[in-house]
Chains A and B, each alone.
Chain A
């Protein structure tokens, strides 16, 4: 029996007091597509760095072709055939595709002068190896993400690798592009090149890989043939908990007056005669394709569509929402889709972010009451279970899930009546996602908060809402009871709209 391509035995790696890898053993065979699964912070990135020689392990050994390798440097790793395609691709946007493909080869060859004919030849050879045509003269920045990724793959293939590590390769790709990528990956595999696919997307792992290794907190928690795994098992292994997904049942009084009553809401060219109501404690989902008017609806309710027609009533009182200030004053809160650019002050601390909408309330004669502010922020950090020892840390240190809780928590400090969430768990990993969902349900139930949840993630809507509105081209085309709707129903319905 020949030795496996690469074998990692009991690897351990610490950075100061943090044990990034505790005990990881992993074997990748020749030409195998292996999936490395784990949540953010599970040690995936460190493991990639160890395999590619960027970091040296503290304990354990690395064997390539059965031969033990001590103190492997990045150069040695490349010489042994290990190539990494980073999530950011590490390409030069300002240079042509041809030059991007040729630069590393030229540098490895120790060239001092550039022959543009050779650059061209190298680039042509690279596209031949990839088996996909690339426009060699285009500047890389003009390519779509999938195109850039192909350039990165072609470049990696130039050094005749035997193991290609792809870090979260599908994050920015559309469904069709993912399929095209998988074709390329299978083609690479058919040439005997092994691929280590690093991901946290279940469906893709199940589709592409032959074997899977799941790590959590720096340890291998499950591994084996992909046939032995399903989504539930991978999730369980990644998060270490059973994530219940029973639907949200609204137990409010059906005869109670509506909290939010929208009549004939129209924004020319964006929303067309939308009418719906929402009772206290209800979580109502909003679904629709991109451009259906979902986000516009949220913005209109948050006072950001000045010229709207129709009537919006909150607790029976008609409102004129002509600005964000007016919406906030009425108790409407909005958590935007892109929390990094729209929802957080990245340069500020967690506390400052938490208190961002409470300044007026916490000020007396224009002077901020610092003691009370600190107390309230601390309370909310505890209530939202944000993982930080103190609110005095930069908000950028938080993971995606925790950052999202800061944005939600901020609004809760002012006791809103209506909470509008746009993509509440985009970019958040499975474990924290469940935590956020739990929190939202709790808030709706305990505080009688009305929640409007906009999402692309169909299971998220089906599991957490009691009702789902479907928008299409600015019109409300369906209103579904979540209990009687499955993810597949919703998916078919949306598909039919296309």
Chain B
């Protein structure tokens, strides 16, 4: 029994990999439509935004913090960028993404200031900044939704790109969104940072013990700013990508998304107490969550049950990680 707990401590992604395999087999057996390339591709596409946001949450959670402000930051970055593009009649891809990421970065650094200098609890800080940013966007920038007729065409075209397609049994074409590659690229980058740089090890060290990290010689202030800054930048990037993928910039979007993302990260084996978690586990967690919630439809379950499933996943995944980490808490 403790052998299992140890295995989970060492390879947090084991549990989620097992859950994913079981879920896929079960769903595919009940309704073989699941195996159609168009369904599989759409599931991968659906995991892009949640996935990038999950990378941001993973960074914060590894350091022992938690972030609930990222949906607000993502929406703020997206809405401000699209508004600016329309106002300046600018169309493009690279610059807008740079702008959205920078907005996210700046907001993330605000979180870091509160967390590091005022020693505030990350949950409270990010609840506050997230709410304030949302309020600011709706109150000052605007409340109206920007639809496809006004969205910058190049941005839309970028998000519609496909890099791979197959002909299905019924003769229709199914394509895989290029955005999956963008997500994979970001995931690899975050993985390399966490696994192969001193900065990344510093994030784990911080989650293991802040005082100990300082005594060993880590610059904990710099690490905290990098974590929250990077998380903000990822959120800003994901926000604009989200708008481009659904062809809409809605300032009231992504409400309640923080729970789905945190659920995915915890499901992926990250510890809410910090110091434990991997990129691969997080990606598997995201995929599992997306597969389960999106497959309710093809299983004939009413979509209102989605929230019940998300809630149940949060509780189940946290229970397993708490059991795994119980020695540490005691």
Q: Is there contact, CB below 8 Å, between B212 and A91?
A: yes
Complex alpha-carbon distance, A357 and B215, angstroms: 43
Q: Are B6 and A142 in contact (CB under 8 A)?
A: yes
Select from chain B the residue with minimum beta-carbon distance to A108: B217
Cα distance A86–B207 when bound, in Å? 19
Verify if B196 is at the interface (C-beta below 8 Å from A): yes
Whether B218 is near chain A, meaning CB under 8 Å from some CB there, is yes
Query: Could you say which residues of chain B place their CB within 8 Å of the CB of A142?
Result: 6, 9
Closest chain A residue to B2, Cβ basis: A142
CA distance A190 to B329 in the complex (A): 39
Within 8 A of B (CB), among A35-94: 86, 88, 90-94
Interface residues in B181-221 (C-beta closer than 8 Å to A): 195-201, 204-205, 207-209, 211-213, 215-218
A92-113 CB mask vs B (1 if < 8 Å, else 0) is 1111000100011011100111
CB distance A94 to B196 under 8 Å? no
Residues in B neighbouring A108, C-beta threshold 8 A: 217
Chain A residues closer than 8 Å to B216, beta-carbon distance: 90, 103-104, 107
Report the Cα distance A107→B218, complex, angstroms.
7
By beta carbon, the residue of chain A nearest B206 is A92
Contact in complex: B197, A139 (CB < 8 Å): no
Q: With contacts A104-B216, A107-B216, A141-B327 known, is A92 near B196, CB below 8 A? A: no
Say whether A114 faces chain B, with CB atoms less than 8 Å apart: yes
Cross-chain contact A106 with B198 (CB below 8 angstroms): yes
Judging by beta carbons under 8 Å apart, are B217 and A104 in contact? yes
B201 touches A93 (CB 8 A): no
Residues of the A chain whose Cβ atoms lie less than 8 Å from the Cβ of B222: none
Q: For the complex, what is the distance from the CA of A103 to the CA of B209, rounded to whole Å?
A: 14
The residue of chain A having its C-beta at the shortest distance from the C-beta of B277 within the complex is: A94
Contact of A107 with B198 at beta-carbon distance under 8 Å, contacts A94-B276, A141-B328 already known = yes
Contact B209 A90 (CB under 8 A): yes
| Contacts A90-B215, A90-B216, A93-B275 given; does A112 touch B198 at CB 8 Å | yes
Once the chains bind, are A139 and B9 in contact (CB under 8 Å)? yes
Within the complex, what minimum Cβ distance (angstroms) separates B302 from chain A? 41
Chain B residue with the shortest CB-CB distance to A137: B10
Q: Which of B254-285 contact A (CB under 8 A)?
A: 271, 274-276
Minimum C-beta distance from A496 to chain B (A): 33
| Chain B residue nearest in CB terms to A78 | B217
Q: Are A114 and B209 in contact (CB under 8 A)?
A: no
When distances are taken between beta carbons in the complex, the residues of chain A under 8 Å from B6 are 139, 142
Interfacial chain A residues near B204, Cβ < 8 Å: 92, 94-95
Q: Is the CB of B208 within 8 A of A94?
A: yes
B197-A113 in contact (CB<8A)? yes
Q: Check B212 against A92 for contact (C-beta < 8 Å).
A: yes
Evaluate whether A113 and B207 lie within 8 angstroms (CB atoms) in the complex, with A91-B212, A139-B9 already known.
no
Q: Are B9 and A103 in contact (CB under 8 A)?
A: no
Is A90 touching B212 in the complex (CB atoms < 8 A)?
Answer: yes
Q: Mark A121-139, 1 if CB is under 8 A from B, else 0.
A: 0000000000000000001
Q: How far is the CB of A115 from chain B (nearest CB, A)?
A: 8
Complex Cα spacing A107 to B197, Å: 11
* Min distance, Cβ A220 to any Cβ of chain B, angstroms: 28
Residue among A90, A94, A103 having the largest count of chain B Cβ atoms under 10 Å: A94
Candidates A92, A107, A112; contact of B208 at CB < 8 Å:
A92
> For A88, what are the chain B residues with a Cβ–Cβ distance below 8 Å?
212
Query: In whole angstroms, how far apart are the Cα atoms of A141 and B215 in the complex?
Result: 18
A91 vs B328: C-alpha distance when bound (angstroms)? 13
Q: Contact string, A396-424, partner B, CB cutoff 8 A, digits 1/0?
A: 00000000000000000000000000000
Q: Which residues of B contact A112 (CB under 8 A)?
A: 197-199
Would B208 and A113 count as touching, CB distance under 8 A?
no
Kindly state the separation between the CA atoms of A104 and B218 in the bound complex, as whole angstroms. Answer: 9
B326 to chain A, nearest CB (A): 11
Q: Given contacts A104-B216, A107-B217, A142-B6, are A93 and B209 in contact (CB under 8 A)?
A: yes
Q: Take A94-B275, A107-B217, A141-B327 as given contacts and tell me if A113 and B198 are in contact as well, using a CB distance cutoff of 8 Å.
A: yes
**Cβ-defined contact, B328 with A114, below 8 A:** no
B240 to chain A: closest CB distance in Å? 30
Cβ of B212: which chain A residues have Cβ within 8 Å of it? 88, 90-92
Q: Smallest CB-CB separation from B328: which chain A residue?
A: A141
Taking CB atoms, residues of chain A closer than 8 Å to B205 are 92, 95, 103
Cα of A304 to Cα of B6 in the assembled complex, Å: 34
Residues of chain A within 8 A of B275, CB atoms compared: 92-95
B195 adjacent to A114 (CB under 8 Å): yes
Contacts of A99 in B (CB 8 A): 201
- Closest Cβ–Cβ distance, residue A172 to chain B (whole Å): 14
Q: Mark B1-30, 1 if CB is under 8 A from A, else 0.
A: 000001001100000000000000000000
**Measured between C-beta atoms, what is the minimum distance from B8 to chain A in Å?**
11
Tell me, in angstroms, the Cα distance from A113 to B194 when the chains sit together: 10
Closest to A103 in B: B216
Complex interface residues of chain A between 443 and 467 (CB less than 8 A to chain B): none
Do A92 and B198 have beta carbons less than 8 Å apart?
no
| Cα of A110 to Cα of B209 in the assembled complex, Å | 21
Q: What residue in chain A is nearest B211 (Cβ atoms)?
A: A90
B residues in contact with A93, CB < 8 Å: 208-209, 275, 328
A73 to B276 alpha-carbon distance, docked (Å): 33
How many angstroms from the CA of A86 to the CA of B215 in the assembled complex? Answer: 10
Chain B residues in 8 Å Cβ range of A95? 201, 204-205, 208, 275
Residues of B contacting A90 in the complex (Cβ-Cβ under 8 angstroms): 209, 211-212, 215-216
Q: Nearest-CB distance from A339 to chain B (Å)? A: 18
A336-349 vs B, CB cutoff 8 Å, 1 = contact: the mask equals 00000000000000
With both beta carbons as reference points, the residue of chain A lying nearest to B196 in the complex is identified as A114
CA distance A104 to B214 in the complex (A): 10
> Within the complex, what minimum Cβ distance (angstroms) separates A143 from chain B?
11
Are B207 and A94 within 8 A (Cβ)? yes
Closest to A142 in B: B6
CB-nearest residue of chain A relative to B64? A94
Question: Smallest CB–CB gap between A140 and chain B, Å?
Answer: 8
Contact A114 B207, beta carbon cutoff 8 Å: no
- A114 (CB) vs chain B CBs: closest residue: B196
For window 14-49 of A, CB contacts with B under 8 Å fall at: none
B201 touches A113 (CB 8 A): no
- Measured in the bound complex, the distance between the Cα atoms of B209 and A141 in whole Å is 12
Contacts of A103 in B (CB 8 A): 201, 205, 216
Q: Chain A, 252-289, contact with B by CB distance < 8 Å: what is the 0/1 string?
A: 00000000000000000000000000000000000000
**Could you tell me the distance in whole angstroms from the C-beta of A76 to the nearest C-beta in chain B?**
14
**How far is it, in angstroms, between the C-alpha of A95 and the C-alpha of B213 when the chains are bound?**
12
A88 to B9 alpha-carbon distance, docked (Å): 22
Q: How far is the CA of A139 from the CA of B8 in the complex (A)?
A: 12
Taking the nearest CB of chain A, how far is it from the CB of B269, in angstroms? 12
Q: 8 A–B contact pairs at CB < 8 A? A: A94-B276, A103-B201, A106-B198, A112-B197, A114-B198, A141-B9, A142-B6, A142-B9
9 smallest CB-CB distances across A and B, nearest first, come from A92-B208, A94-B275, A90-B212, A107-B217, A94-B208, A104-B216, A90-B215, A114-B196, A92-B205
8 A-B pairs besides A95-B205, A103-B205, A111-B198 with CB distance below 8 A are: A90-B209, A90-B211, A92-B205, A94-B207, A95-B208, A103-B201, A139-B6, A142-B9
